[in-house]
Amino acid sequence: MLEPKVWREAATQVFFALGLGFGGVIAFSSYNKRDNNCHFDAVLVSFINFFTSVLATLVVFAVLGFKANVINEKCIAQNSEMIIKFLKMGNISQEIIPHHINLSAVTEEDYHLVYDIIQKVKEEEFPVLHLNSCQIEDELNKAVQGTGLAFIAFTEAMTHFPASPFWSVMFFLMLVNLGLGSMFGTIEGIITPVVDTFKVRKEILTVICCLLAFSIGLIFVQRSGNYFVTMFDDYSATLPLLIVVILENIAVCFVYGIDKFMEDLRDMLGFAPSRYYYYMWKYISPLMLLSLLIASVVNMGLSPPGYNAWIEDKVKYKIKNHLI
């Protein structure tokens, strides 16, 4: 919780969820009438986003917990079979196994009890046995994030669901709709200001933007695409987005003037917004965003940028040594 990266990613999630910094919200709002109740819309969207995030969190961790439990059960079954083989071969004495434990249908608690007994009795020889502790906490700590969460962890978990093909189809349809919904707002944030400023045909500009975005997106579907996704996600979508939001806050509150902005809202809404917004926009938000930006820059300076890469030769060398 004390790492700046955690808070930077949390802020980025809020920006992505609410569409802040992309221009999409501003572009959509430009189609509203002047006397539209933007205060109600803003509060409603924030609450919907909050409850959607809570629901998504419950679903994600429930699926990851289900997957970890299934893998842990398989781990216990496989290691129990190994213990039975060691008992038959005489590597482990039958006397150290409690009589009430049936290794053919062992529970998680009984397996951990047997594991601890063997570890204590066979202290020097224990590493040679290659037994796994099968702790569900270890499986939960292995939980992946980013693209791995959607295309690896969730996909694997759904193979264990009842009627798994149905849930797999529904899940990937959800991902397609989520991507399309996100792109509508992003493209609108690009098209609307250009059309309003240069008076070009919206249809032609939309086609050009979509073709350009499609061409750039092709680098993500190469064999090395995952590295580009990681690079874009870590260095082009988080810090620049934070800087854009800070500049928007400064432009409204200090360049245009927060007092003038509040007066515009009063004229549009027909009532004066709460002073809470005044102090949040002028003091609290810029201070928190700047603190987050400084902490992120310092953290990036202390830890050089990098990412994990797959090196086939090293993997083959390790596997060969392990077999030897």
Annotated binding site for Na(+): 49, 178, 182
Residue 189 CA to residue 20 CA, distance in Å, equals 11
Tokens representing 100 are 């009430």
Whole-angstrom CA distances from 89 to 22, 82, 83 are: 65, 11, 10
Residue 157 CA to residue 168 CA, distance in Å, equals 10
Residue 259 CA to residue 279 CA, distance in Å, equals 11
Tokens representing 211 are 């073709």
Q: Which residues are annotated as a binding site?
A: 49, 178, 182
3-state secondary structure the chain: CCCHHHHHHHHHHHHHHHCCCCCHHHHHHCCCCCCCCHHHHHHHHHHHHHHHHHHHHHHHHHHHHHHHHHHHHHHHHHHHHHHHHHHHHCCCCHHHCCCCCCHHHCCHHHHHHHHHHHHHHCCCCHHHHCCCCCCHHHHHHCCCCCHHHHHHHHHHHHCCCCCHHHHHHHHHHHHHHHHHHHHHHHHHHHHHHHHHHHCCCHHHHHHHHHHHHHHHHHHHHCCCHHHHHHHHHHHCCCHHHHHHHHHHHHHHHHHHHHHHHHHHHHHHHCCCCCHHHHHHHHHHHHHHHHHHHHHHHHHHHHCCCCCCCCCHHHHHHHHHHHHC
Tokens representing 199 are 């008076």
